Amino acid sequence: MLSESWRHYFEWAGNTWLGTTIRDTVWAFPLIETFHLLALAVLLGTVLIINLRVFGLGKRYAPAAQMARQLEPWMLVSLGVLIASGIPMAFSEPMKCFESISFPVKMVLIVLGIAFQFTAQRRWVMSGDAGAGKAKLAALASIFIWTAVGAAGKGIPYI
């Protein structure tokens, strides 16, 4: 749960035009959540394809570095959709997010995941030496972080 100093921000978010419109429109939240979940599926799919390739699994005709370069645009678009859809979802139910232990965990994991994906993961996997220990460590960490993001998001209404 977040500290009380954040309460005013979350109350403000719920009272914005965006928050009230989504909350008061029957179809808005489910539609936004559909795009959010589809983007999460694309992100996790690309992460798994690339990282399982680092471990030697999957299509052997392309090295992990090449697959990472080819799938990076999909990853970037899905991250953009996740952020663009996540903000209105959080604004529509801010007190649920404020009171949830999972929400701040998810936010920290997203920042960590993005930072890791575009620093260590990119450098070690795209170096072309996919069999190296660093690349495998990066692959394992990436799978863990992004799966934890999804799990923390799923826990927001419950934890």
Query: Looking up tokens 């949830």, which residue turns up?
Result: 100
Q: What whole-number percentage of the chain has pLDDT above 70?
A: 95
Task: Specify the number of domains making up the chain.
Answer: 1
C-alpha to C-alpha distance for 84 and 147, rounded to whole angstroms: 19
> Cβ(46)–Cβ(74) under 8 Å?
yes
Give the residue numbers spanning the domain of 30: 4-155
pTM for the whole structure: 0.82
Per the prediction, the chain carries an average pLDDT of 86
Q: Which residues contact 101 (CB under 8 A, 6 or more apart)?
A: 1, 155, 159
pLDDT (tens digit per residue) in 75-113: 999 999 999 999 999 999 988 888 888 999 999 999 999
pLDDT (tens digit per residue) in 7-38: 888 889 888 999 999 989 999 999 999 999 99
Cα distances (Å, whole numbers) of residue 22 to 27, 30, 31, 62, 120: 8, 10, 10, 44, 37
C-alpha to C-alpha distance for 96 and 106, rounded to whole angstroms: 14
User: What's the pLDDT score for residue 65?
Assistant: 80
